[in-house]
Amino acid sequence: MLHVCTTCRRGGPAMEHPPGAQLLDRLQTVLEASPQPITLRPVACLAACDRGCTAAISMPNRWTWLLGHLGPEKAEDLLAYAKLYAASAKGTVMPSRRPASLSDMILGRVPATEQDPS
Protein backbone atom coordinates (compact mmCIF):
# COMPACT_ATOMS: atom_id res chain seq x y z
CA MET A 1 0.00 0.00 0.00
CA LEU A 2 1.43 3.36 -1.02
CA HIS A 3 -0.27 6.23 0.80
CA VAL A 4 0.30 9.56 -0.97
CA CYS A 5 -0.31 12.91 0.70
CA THR A 6 -2.41 14.88 -1.77
CA THR A 7 -2.23 18.14 0.17
CA CYS A 8 1.58 18.45 0.20
CA ARG A 9 2.68 21.81 -1.17
CA ARG A 10 6.47 21.44 -0.82
CA GLY A 11 6.52 24.54 1.35
CA GLY A 12 4.71 26.63 -1.26
CA PRO A 13 1.47 28.59 -1.01
CA ALA A 14 -1.95 26.94 -1.07
CA MET A 15 -3.00 25.96 -4.57
CA GLU A 16 -5.80 24.12 -6.31
CA HIS A 17 -3.67 21.15 -7.46
CA PRO A 18 -0.65 20.96 -5.12
CA PRO A 19 2.49 18.92 -5.84
CA GLY A 20 1.22 16.05 -3.68
CA ALA A 21 -1.83 15.67 -5.91
CA GLN A 22 0.44 15.95 -8.94
CA LEU A 23 2.59 13.13 -7.54
CA LEU A 24 -0.49 10.93 -7.13
CA ASP A 25 -1.60 11.75 -10.69
CA ARG A 26 1.82 10.82 -12.07
CA LEU A 27 1.91 7.57 -10.10
CA GLN A 28 -1.54 6.64 -11.44
CA THR A 29 -0.45 7.44 -15.01
CA VAL A 30 2.67 5.29 -14.72
CA LEU A 31 0.70 2.40 -13.20
CA GLU A 32 -1.92 2.60 -15.95
CA ALA A 33 0.82 2.34 -18.59
CA SER A 34 2.64 -0.49 -16.80
CA PRO A 35 0.40 -2.23 -14.24
CA GLN A 36 2.06 -3.39 -11.04
CA PRO A 37 0.59 -4.96 -7.89
CA ILE A 38 0.74 -1.66 -6.00
CA THR A 39 -2.29 -0.07 -4.39
CA LEU A 40 -2.31 3.73 -4.21
CA ARG A 41 -4.26 5.39 -1.44
CA PRO A 42 -4.61 9.19 -1.35
CA VAL A 43 -4.53 10.75 2.13
CA ALA A 44 -5.21 14.33 3.17
CA CYS A 45 -2.08 14.83 5.28
CA LEU A 46 0.87 12.82 6.57
CA ALA A 47 2.00 15.64 8.91
CA ALA A 48 5.44 16.15 7.36
CA CYS A 49 4.64 19.39 5.57
CA ASP A 50 8.16 20.80 5.71
CA ARG A 51 9.46 17.65 3.96
CA GLY A 52 6.87 17.31 1.17
CA CYS A 53 5.84 15.75 -0.96
CA THR A 54 5.34 12.79 1.33
CA ALA A 55 4.12 9.23 1.09
CA ALA A 56 4.06 6.17 3.32
CA ILE A 57 4.54 2.57 2.27
CA SER A 58 3.20 -0.37 4.23
CA MET A 59 2.46 -4.08 4.02
CA PRO A 60 1.48 -6.61 6.68
CA ASN A 61 4.42 -7.95 8.68
CA ARG A 62 6.84 -5.36 7.27
CA TRP A 63 8.19 -2.03 8.46
CA THR A 64 6.07 0.97 7.47
CA TRP A 65 8.13 3.85 6.10
CA LEU A 66 7.35 7.57 5.98
CA LEU A 67 8.95 8.98 2.85
CA GLY A 68 9.58 12.62 1.95
CA HIS A 69 11.32 14.99 -0.44
CA LEU A 70 9.26 13.46 -3.25
CA GLY A 71 7.58 14.99 -6.28
CA PRO A 72 5.99 14.01 -9.59
CA GLU A 73 9.44 13.82 -11.17
CA LYS A 74 10.32 10.93 -8.82
CA ALA A 75 7.20 8.82 -9.49
CA GLU A 76 8.97 6.13 -11.51
CA ASP A 77 11.74 5.80 -8.94
CA LEU A 78 9.19 5.65 -6.11
CA LEU A 79 7.42 2.77 -7.86
CA ALA A 80 10.77 1.01 -8.38
CA TYR A 81 11.39 1.38 -4.63
CA ALA A 82 7.88 0.03 -3.91
CA LYS A 83 8.69 -3.08 -5.94
CA LEU A 84 11.89 -3.65 -3.96
CA TYR A 85 9.99 -3.06 -0.71
CA ALA A 86 7.31 -5.60 -1.65
CA ALA A 87 9.96 -8.18 -2.53
CA SER A 88 11.80 -7.73 0.77
CA ALA A 89 11.20 -10.08 3.68
CA LYS A 90 10.79 -7.39 6.35
CA GLY A 91 10.22 -4.18 4.40
CA THR A 92 13.82 -3.03 4.45
CA VAL A 93 15.51 -1.83 1.26
CA MET A 94 19.15 -0.96 1.80
CA PRO A 95 20.18 2.53 0.64
CA SER A 96 22.52 1.01 -1.96
CA ARG A 97 19.53 -0.68 -3.65
CA ARG A 98 17.28 2.41 -3.74
CA PRO A 99 17.13 4.63 -6.81
CA ALA A 100 19.72 7.42 -6.40
CA SER A 101 17.05 10.13 -6.58
CA LEU A 102 15.53 8.75 -3.38
CA SER A 103 18.67 8.89 -1.24
CA ASP A 104 17.13 11.44 1.17
CA MET A 105 13.55 10.17 1.24
CA ILE A 106 13.44 8.21 4.52
CA LEU A 107 11.81 10.34 7.24
CA GLY A 108 10.92 7.59 9.68
CA ARG A 109 9.70 4.05 10.18
CA VAL A 110 7.09 2.25 12.25
CA PRO A 111 7.56 -1.34 13.44
CA ALA A 112 5.68 -4.10 11.69
CA THR A 113 2.46 -5.36 13.22
CA GLU A 114 1.19 -8.89 12.98
CA GLN A 115 -1.52 -9.44 10.43
CA ASP A 116 -4.87 -10.49 11.89
CA PRO A 117 -5.43 -14.09 10.72
CA SER A 118 -9.18 -13.57 10.30
Q: How far apart are CA 101 and CA 67, in angstroms?
A: 12
Name which of 68, 67, 95, 83 is nearest 30 in CA terms.
83
Q: Where are the domains of the chain?
A: 2-110
Q: How far apart are CA 2 and CA 78, in angstroms?
A: 10
**Could you read off the pLDDT of 1-47 as tens digits, one per residue?**
999 999 988 767 777 889 999 999 999 999 999 888 899 999 999 99
For residue 41, the tally of other CB atoms under 10 A from its CB is 12
Q: Is the domain defined by 2-110 classed in CATH 3.40.30.10? A: yes
CB 72 within 8 A of CB 25: yes
**Could you read off the pLDDT of 65-105 as tens digits, one per residue?**
999 999 999 999 999 999 999 999 999 999 999 999 999 99
